[in-house]
């Protein structure tokens, strides 16, 4: 079976390596030898171990009738969307690690794959090497899922872990994450929560069966988390993690958002560190399921892409189908939870407004309040005359 890999970067290179390294076991599981016949590359790479397979034009690949499966590992929308759509329409199954593509166009691409009786799979697009999308679509298919919560970005989790556990600066930790190949070339999408936002979109789509669009997901990044916030959270018994969350808010509505969130140290999610990711799913039959593992990096991501290739070669299937519906995604500011807040105000004035809040002090005299359950809307309205320094949700 001949396949093509689009992209010779971290993920594309990893897929090529895994297919070669585990050739024997992969052939047994796929039922045939899998041969990479083309690798699409943006620029010449004479040092590439398979330089004879490198192609610089997608036309060389789509016009090869022997190629049955395409592994898209380029990332981004342009030209990936065009290439993937044309591949499916040309009768080739597609697997992809591209979360931006799936979050924006997954519904349309699944629809085309279904009509063409082809595979379109994207296990690697969420939480890297952790098997999470198949478990949701298949193993948990009997459940009504009420919520999905995850540490969905390896780069930010790595940075926060280094800041929390080793007192490193944000910039040093980011440079390390880039050097290790976790962070995107432009880390803005990681740091600002946009990458996690795309992943929670895909999870929400598959968990709840309707389309959540990236523009409907409110995302906050980790760029404003200070050492004082980290210290005050610790004093209260919490760690700060960047979480993507999606949950049912009514019979026909959900909410989805990404935000730095306080997690109690007794919650297993709080000790998911470094580049590890985790996804917690609540189903009405199964209860709570927690999946953890490597969320980024060449070989863990390639593990998931290659499994999709094997499935596609065996005549797999598409992963899901989700119709869209106006008004389906509601505002997370309506959700009730507790918050940790810091504000530029006298403690006594804040206590007058929030008499039920718990107060905590840092060694250097800063303080924060842990509120009772309230919605962000209600909290912001009560504090409308106060200048807030920071506000964090608490996950219970
Ligand atoms: N930049 C992403 C991350 C790669 O850090 O999680 C995996 O999607």
Instruction: Point out the ligand 1 atom lying closest to the alpha carbon of residue 177.
Output: 5
Q: Ligand 1: does its nearest atom lie under 6 Å from the Cβ of 184?
A: yes
Count other Cβ atoms within 10 Å, centred on residue 5.
Answer: 30
**Strand bridging mode 2-6 / 35-40:** parallel
d(CA 123, CA 303): 10
Percent of residues, the chain, with pLDDT higher than 90: 88
Q: What pLDDT, in 10s, does the model give residues 224-263?
A: 999 999 999 999 999 999 999 999 999 999 999 999 999 9
* Pocket of ligand 1 contains residue 155 by CB under 6 Å: yes
Please give the backbone phi and psi of residue 297, each rounded to the nearest 5 degrees, phi first. 110, 155
Ligand 1 test: best mutation among 125, 133, 182, 196, most atoms within 8 Å of CB? 182
DSSP 195: H
Whole-number Å distance between alpha carbons of 214 and 258: 11
Ligand 1 pocket, residue 295 CB under 6 Å: yes
Atom index in ligand 1 nearest the CA of residue 182 equals 5
Interval 153-184: pLDDT, tens: 999 999 999 999 998 888 888 888 888 877 77
pLDDT tens-place string over residues 12-24: 999 999 999 999 9
Q: Is the CB of 195 under 6 A from ligand 1?
A: yes
Nearest CA to ligand 1 atom 7: 296
Please state, in angstroms and rounded to a whole number, the distance separating the CA atoms of residues 295 and 209: 24
193 alpha carbon – ligand 1 mean position (Å):
11
Domains of the chain and CATH, by start: 2-129 (3.40.50.720), 133-293 (3.30.360.10), 335-395 (3.30.70)
pLDDT bucket at 386, cuts 50 / 70 / 90: very high
Q: Is 221 left (phi over 0), alpha (psi -120 to 50) or beta?
A: beta
pLDDT of 337 > 80? The answer is yes
Ligand 1 atom nearest residue 97's Cα: 8
Ligand 1 pocket check for 154: Cβ under 6 Å: yes
91 Rama sector, left if φ>0, alpha if ψ -120 to 50, beta otherwise: left
Site to substitute for ligand 1 among 11, 126, 151, 155, most atoms within 8 A of C-beta: 155
Statement: residue 321 has pLDDT above 80: no
Distance (Å) of CA 341 to CA 243, 288, 350: 18, 29, 10
- pLDDT for 180 equals 82
From the list 2, 28, 99, 199, the catalytic residue is 199
Report the chain's terminal Cα–Cα distance, integer Å.
Answer: 49
Size of the chain, expressed as the number of residues it contains: 396
From the CA of 126, give the closest atom in ligand 1: 8
Q: Is the CB of 296 under 6 A from ligand 1?
A: yes
**Which of these, 8, 15, 105, lies nearest to 305 by C-alpha position?**
15
Given this model, what pLDDT does residue 318 score? 65
Taking the model in full, what pTM does it have?
A: 0.96
210 is catalytic: no
Mean per-residue pLDDT over the chain, rounded? 95
More confident site: 320 or 110: 110
Whether 185 has a pLDDT exceeding 80, the answer reads: no
Please tell me the distance between residue 152's alpha carbon and the centre of ligand 1 in angstroms: 8
Q: Which atom of ligand 1 is nearest to the CA of 184?
A: 1
Task: Say if residues 310 and 29 touch (Cβ distance below 8 Å).
Answer: yes
pLDDT reported for residue 293: 98
Is ligand 1 within 6 A of the CB of residue 300?
no
Give yes or no for residue 122 CB within 6 A of ligand 1.
no
Nearest to 97 by CA among 119, 77, 74: 74
The rounded Å distance from CA 296 to ligand 1 centre is 5
The secondary structure of residue 56, as a DSSP letter, is S
Is residue 198 within 8 A of residue 238, CB to CB? The reply is no
Residue 213 has pLDDT above 90, yes or no: yes
Q: Contact 120/98 with Cβ under 8 angstroms?
A: no
197 lines ligand 1 (CB under 6 A): no
Could you tell me if 118 and 91 are in contact, meaning their C-beta atoms sit under 8 angstroms apart? yes
């Amino acid at each position: 079976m001949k396949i093509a890999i689009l992209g010779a970067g971290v993920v594309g290179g990893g897929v090529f390596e895994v297919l070669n390294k585990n050739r024997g076991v992969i052939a047994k599981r796929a039922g045939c030898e899998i041969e990479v016949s083309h690798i699409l590359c943006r620029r010449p790479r004479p040092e590439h171990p398979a330089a004879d397979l490198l192609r610089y034009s997608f036309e060389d690949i789509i016009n090869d009738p022997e190629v049955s499966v395409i592994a898209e590992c380029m990332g981004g929308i342009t030209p990936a969307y065009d290439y993937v759509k044309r591949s499916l329409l040309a009768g080739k199954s597609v697997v992809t690690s591209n979360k931006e593509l799936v979050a924006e166009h997954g519904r349309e691409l699944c629809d085309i794959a279904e009509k063409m009786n082809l595979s379109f799979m994207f296990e690697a697009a969420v939480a890297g090497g952790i098997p999470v999308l198949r478990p949701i679509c298949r193993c948990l298919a009997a459940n009504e899922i009420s919520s999905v919560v995850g540490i969905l970005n390896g780069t930010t989790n790595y940075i926060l872990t280094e800041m929390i556990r080793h007192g490193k600066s944000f910039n040093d930790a980011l440079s390390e994450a880039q050097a290790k190949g976790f962070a995107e070339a432009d880390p803005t999408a990681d740091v600002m929560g946009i990458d996690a936002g795309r992943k929670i979109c895909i999870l929400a789509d598959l968990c709840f069966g309707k389309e959540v669009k990236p523009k409907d997901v409110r995302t906050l990044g980790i760029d404003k988390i200070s050492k004082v916030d980290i210290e005050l959270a610790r004093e209260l018994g919490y760690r700060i993690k960047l979480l993507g969350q999606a949950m049912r808010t009514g019979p026909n509505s959900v909410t989805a958002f990404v935000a730095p969130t306080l997690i109690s140290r007794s919650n297993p999610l709080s000790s998911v560190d470094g580049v590890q990711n985790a996804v917690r799913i609540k189903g009405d039959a199964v209860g709570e399921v927690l999946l953890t593992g490597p969320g980024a990096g060449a070989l863990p991501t390639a593990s998931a892409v290659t499994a999709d290739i094997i499935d596609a070669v065996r005549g797999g299937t598409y992963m899901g189908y989700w119709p869209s519906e106006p008004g389906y995604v509601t505002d997370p500011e309506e959700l009730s939870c507790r918050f940790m807040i810091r504000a530029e105000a006298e403690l006594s004035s804040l206590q007058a407004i929030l008499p039920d809040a718990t107060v905590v002090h840092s060694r250097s005299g800063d303080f924060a309040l842990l509120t009772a359950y309230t919605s962000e809307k209600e909290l912001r309205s009560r504090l409308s005359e106060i200048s807030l320094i920071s506000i964090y949700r608490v996950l219970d």
